[in-house]
Structure 1
Amino acid sequence: MSPQNSALWLPKPGAPFQVGPAPYTPPAASEVVVRVRAVAVNPIDGLPGFLYRLALPWLTFPAVVGSDVAGEVVETGAGVTGLRPGDRVLGHAFGVDKSRNRAAESAFQHYVVLMRHMVSPIPDSLTFAQAAVLPLALSTAATGMFQQDHLGLAMPGAEPADHADTVVVWGGSTSVGSNAIQLARNAGYQVVATASPHNFDHVRTLGAAHAVDRNSPSAVEEILERIGGGPLAGILAIGSGSLTKTVPLAARAPGGKRIASAQPELFTRITRRRARRHGVRVSSIWGGTLKDNEVGPAIYTGFLPSALATGAYRAAPDATVVGHGLAHIPHALRELKNGVSAKKLVVTL
């Protein structure tokens, strides 16, 4: 007998979410099924109807959405190695991605199908709620930093080579920024991060050598001073207004003049034209592309398991659990719209 599954369904763009039965889908080759114990919410999960059509025009309705998963493996498909039923894991669910586009692979349900190479075991010391904060933010940061079409930095590892280059993370206290700082440090780079002053300690504890007030009128000058004469490896631009500040920063800094933008593609495209005049290359990150190249497995199966186990990598930012059960996810999405700082909202299942 297959387990009984339930999901949080989105009947159509803009409609209210509805909890209802969902089929249990067994894993195909190189897939695993995970019993979901915690999910985190992201802005893309709760878009207004017209923005769903703009951001995810391919999505088939009724849909199940959600990307951030932590739970227990219940079944593995052919060819899966390194995981077995009962293992505690986190994973990036790709049900809303254009190349997958099926409800069975989205996070907001009790049993989800995940791609094996986008799943990482987690240590017993890490709760499911805290583990759930990682996947989408980790994937977005890793895509921007390590894919060759973005910053193309050296990959992280247990004993990375030290680089003289500096990575600037504009928006260091965000979920993506919290992961970008740690990835850069575990790859051997120095990090300068922007944040609000009350989050300076947060970005420093993650590995940033320097923290700069993102709202300071002299932020660009302060970052250039912190970089000094060393080369710039690249900039990750996260959050509203980040491109306005990072283009002149990249134009003036010694070294690499590349910006990987986590801003919506429309904003990035407009800035890209202006940036070219200053010799700056701006690329737009889609946090799902790493599943189709070497970066995804290098992070999720090569780097993350041991880094979490040894404490070299933290699940950050902190999780704030706002409810239990699928019916509480819409509440979490409403709270997310009100804004959060240096934390991520989680629902346990």
Structure 2
Amino acid sequence: MKAVVLKSYGDVDALAVQDMPEPKVGPGEVKVRVTAAGINPVDWKIRRGDMKAMMPLQFPTILGRDVAGEVMEVGPGVSDFKPGDRVMGVVNAGYAEKVVAPVESWAKVPESMDLKDAAALPLVTLTGVQLMEEAVNPKKGDTVLVIGALGAVGRAAVFAAKARGAKVLAGVRGSQKAEAQKLGVDGVFALDVADEFSKLPMLDAVADTVGGQVVARVLEKVKPGGTLGSVLGEPPEAKGRQITVRAILSHPDSRRLTQLGQAVAKGDLVIPVSKRFPLEQVKEAQKLAEQGGVGKVLLVN
């Protein structure tokens, strides 16, 4: 099968499309013919070597954490899926024509949804929802700021916070304010504009998808006893403050992913897709995605 292989740490020239052995399905696993794979920040961070201390690689390796496609085969013990089912899931080695992952990684794709676009959903929607539900865990009426609210993870976090009955504020760049108004939040703040930042109210909680100096500055707006949830680890500036910090790594959740797919199909949650590239154009696709400020970028077979 064809797959995108990372040959070494480096820029996009370290990526190559080549033939690789087809994965075999085992007990409790599902084999899927990949229709499309999503490109996520973790992919280029791994490629550049940013994560080699916590995630050392053996080369060559296949990148890619989420896909959508059709079930080809199920392993012993699998009853939730059958060949021909349209599915999406959080996987490893998704930049390929075929992939195998445990049954709990997969969810069925709503009939009304384009199967290619479903590949944009698994990792980012689960990460955003788990950030809000497991790390921030707001109560009804809490004032919650989502930093990076227009990103795919941020959009999912906003969706989950609104479902909890929280008062949701979107933290974005000044150039994104008009677009952020479409999220249906209770307020939009340009965190890179001093006058706007000063108008931020005191917060019960922050959901951070950006990190860096932005979250460091926002911490001064969190009430004593408040909460910071992050997908980027605990910021050093949080030490010594009277706040609870919870950094999360997303995990597969078939049931929740099914619900999120249904929410997207209904239009209750929107995850924009910017552009689709064939697998052979992975270098151009990763370059575009890495620039930021765009919707999801997909690789299609």
Normalised by the length of structure 1, the TM-score is: 0.76
Q: State how far apart, in whole Å, the 2-side matches of 1:247 and 1:347 are.
A: 37
Deviation at 1:131, TM superposition (A): 1.7
Query: Any conservation in 1 of the 2:95–2:299 contact (CA below 8 Å)?
Result: no
Deviation at 1:152, TM superposition (A): 3.4
Which residue of structure 2 lines up, in the alignment, with residue 54 of structure 1? 53
Report the 3-state secondary structure (helix = DSSP H, G, I; strand = E; otherwise coil) of the residue aligned with 2:50: helix
After alignment, is 216-225 or 133-142 more displaced?
216-225
Distance 1:271 1:145, change over 3 A: same
One-letter amino acid of the structure 1 residue matched with residue 226 of structure 2: K
Is 1:320 equivalent to 2:292 in the alignment? no
Which residue of structure 2 lines up, in the alignment, with residue 7 of structure 1? 3
Is 1:224 equivalent to 2:201 in the alignment? yes
Task: Find 1:242's aligned residue among 214, 218, 222.
Answer: 214
Distance 1:188 1:81, change over 3 A: farther
Is 1:179 equivalent to 2:156 in the alignment? yes
One-letter amino acid of the structure 1 residue matched with residue 236 of structure 2: I
Q: State how far apart, in whole Å, the 1-side matches of 2:105 and 2:111 are.
A: 19
Q: List structure 1 segments (4+ residues) > 6 angstroms apart after TM superposition.
A: none
One-letter amino acid of the structure 2 residue matched with residue 215 of structure 1: D
Deviations 1:159-206 (A, max 9, x none): xxxx22232201101121111111222333331111234433543433
Query: Any conservation in 2 of the 1:191–1:210 contact (CA below 8 Å)?
Result: yes
One-letter amino acid of the structure 2 residue matched with residue 180 of structure 1: A
Task: Find 2:230's aligned residue among 261, 273, 276.
Answer: 261
Which structure carries more strand by proportion?
2
Correspondence 1:1-349 to 2 at 5 A: 5-14=1-10, 16-47=14-45, 49-57=48-56, 59-93=57-91, 95=92, 106-147=93-134, 150-153=135-138, 163-224=140-201, 232=204, 234-239=205-210, 240-251=212-223, 257-263=226-232, 265=233, 268-273=234-239, 276=240, 278-287=241-250, 290-291=251-252, 296-301=253-258, 303-314=259-270, 316=271, 318-324=272-278, 326-337=279-290, 339-349=291-301
Deviation at 1:211, TM superposition (A): 1.2
Q: State how far apart, in whole Å, the 1-side matches of 2:178 and 2:113 are.
A: 22
The unaligned stretches of length 5 or more in structure 1 are: 96-105, 155-162
Distance 1:151 1:24, change over 3 A: same
Deviations 1:275-331 (A, max 9, x none): x2x3022232323xx33xxxx244224x324434444333x1x1122421x221121
Distance 1:185 1:18, change over 3 A: same
Identity of aligned residues (%): 24
Deviation at 1:107, TM superposition (A): 0.7
Report the 3-state secondary structure (helix = DSSP H, G, I; strand = E; otherwise coil) of the residue aligned with 1:224: coil
Report the 3-state secondary structure (helix = DSSP H, G, I; strand = E; otherwise coil) of the residue aligned with 1:109: coil
One-letter amino acid of the structure 2 residue matched with residue 10 of structure 1: L
> Please, what is the CA RMSD of the aligned residues?
2.5
Normalised by the length of structure 2, the TM-score is: 0.87
When the two structures are aligned, how many residues end up with a matched partner? 297
Which residue of structure 2 lines up, in the alignment, with residue 101 of structure 1? none
Query: Any conservation in 1 of the 2:277–2:299 contact (CA below 8 Å)?
Result: yes
Which residue of structure 2 lines up, in the alignment, with residue 103 of structure 1? none
